Copies of this chain bind each other. A is one copy, B any other.
């Protein structure tokens, strides 16, 4: 990676395409080898060129976290889209508009009230809205328990009310709290088996349930079997980050997103290097705070991308970052080593949060000029 970065205005979000492509290939091969389709979650990069690389590698459809993502990706030619947050009545007209324009949008519900709203809208519009029922397989967020009686009621409200049951879905977000192979395999199996169980209960009640959709980056990279699962959703793997390093599913050398920063000053008696990448660039995400290795606001690399593991981004104001030694040592050569105007790359705790602070990526590929790939934010 011998590209000249000195002309890039800082702070900037850099994407290393070699790492990006490797992450995409690794996930695609893994899910395929377990017999499922991969439906990448595009909420991490929110970037059409990144999703095209995932599609080219074999992805089947995409997952989105907002209807704005659905609109943007549909406009760019992606037509098989799962909106993975329970839909509310005030968003149904937007969803319906996408379906009417030919988007194969799928929505999600986890309540009888939600299911009835989708069914009513389906019947009124004469379009059976494809709907997944969210299953709670780890207690971390939304969904109905696989053994809950209401699961069947929701299924009947959808099926009998005019919507179409596309399947069941779950996301084992609790996997982010694991850090051992055994723990990751256990939660991956829990995610799979409980979601498959919910599908079996619907089928036993005489309801259709063609799809079983599961996933998170840690469980997708750890599952030993995906029996009964038809598709896997994962997002952050595309960039990876320091949280995923601590979970144990990647190393810092896999992290494809970094923030390019310029040194703006020093506080020598504290061992601080000040940069122009504060929390506005890195985000306020402190996801590694409670993990085995706390990276502060980010890991520090030299401008060529080499990890300087004895350093970290120890503090942040809006447009000021503080880089210092992890051991608190006060180097004699601080100013000489990090002169004003020199550049560093900072690896993020959480790629989804850091990427969202930027409107574009500066894309680095060996032997090529730096490209700009747009991303979008908001709702």
Q: Looking across the interface, which residue of chain B has its beta carbon closest to that of A275? A: B88
Question: Is A12 among interface residues, defined by CB-CB distance under 8 A?
Answer: yes
Structural contact, A379 and B12, CB atoms closer than 8 A: yes
Contact of A378 among B66, B279, B359 (CB under 8 A): B359
Question: Is A175 among interface residues, defined by CB-CB distance under 8 A?
Answer: no
Question: Residue-by-residue, is A317-332 near B (CB-CB < 8 Å gives 1, otherwise 0)?
Answer: 1111010000000000
How many copies of the polypeptide does the oligomer hold? Answer: 2
Question: Is A86 among interface residues, defined by CB-CB distance under 8 A?
Answer: yes
Structural contact, B90 and A265, CB atoms closer than 8 A: no
Q: Given A110-B265, A113-B340, A284-B353: A10 and B86 within 8 A (CB)?
A: no
Contact of A379 among B10, B110, B117, B317 (CB under 8 A): B10
Residues on the B chain within 8 Å of A86, using CB: 264-265, 274
Structural contact, B265 and A379, CB atoms closer than 8 A: no
Residues on the B chain within 8 Å of A357, using CB: 356, 377
Bound form: Cα–Cα A319–B265 in Å: 37
Most buried by B among A10, A173, A341: A341
Q: Looking across the interface, which residue of chain B has its beta carbon closest to that of A85? A: B319
Q: Given A111-B265, A379-B10: A274 and B317 within 8 A (CB)?
A: no
Chain A 128-159 residues near chain B, CB threshold 8 A:
136, 139, 141-142
Chain A 312-360 residues near chain B, CB threshold 8 A:
317-320, 322, 339-341, 350, 352-353, 356-360
Question: Is A11 among interface residues, defined by CB-CB distance under 8 A?
Answer: yes
Residues on the B chain within 8 Å of A352, using CB: 318
Contact of A359 among B94, B274, B377 (CB under 8 A): B377
Question: Residue-by-residue, is A7-20 near B (CB-CB < 8 Å gives 1, otherwise 0)?
Answer: 10111100000000
Q: Looking across the interface, which residue of chain B has its beta carbon closest to that of A173? A: B317
Question: Is A114 among interface residues, defined by CB-CB distance under 8 A?
Answer: yes
Structural contact, A90 and B319, CB atoms closer than 8 A: no
Structural contact, B142 and A274, CB atoms closer than 8 A: yes
- How many A residues have CB within 8 A of the partner chain? 62
How close is A274's CB to chain B, nearest CB, in angstroms? 6
Residues on the B chain within 8 Å of A284, using CB: 283-286, 350, 353
Contact of A89 among B274, B341, B350, B353 (CB under 8 A): B341
Bound form: Cα–Cα A340–B280 in Å: 33
Question: Is A266 among interface residues, defined by CB-CB distance under 8 A?
Answer: yes
Residues on the B chain within 8 Å of A358, using CB: 378
Question: Is A288 among interface residues, defined by CB-CB distance under 8 A?
Answer: no
Question: Is A276 among interface residues, defined by CB-CB distance under 8 A?
Answer: yes
Bound form: Cα–Cα A357–B359 in Å: 11
Question: Is A193 among interface residues, defined by CB-CB distance under 8 A?
Answer: no
Structural contact, A142 and B110, CB atoms closer than 8 A: no
Question: Is A262 among interface residues, defined by CB-CB distance under 8 A?
Answer: yes
Q: A65-B319, A280-B356 are in contact. List 9 more A-B contacts (CB 8 A).
A: A9-B91, A85-B320, A89-B340, A117-B341, A139-B270, A141-B317, A141-B320, A142-B267, A142-B320
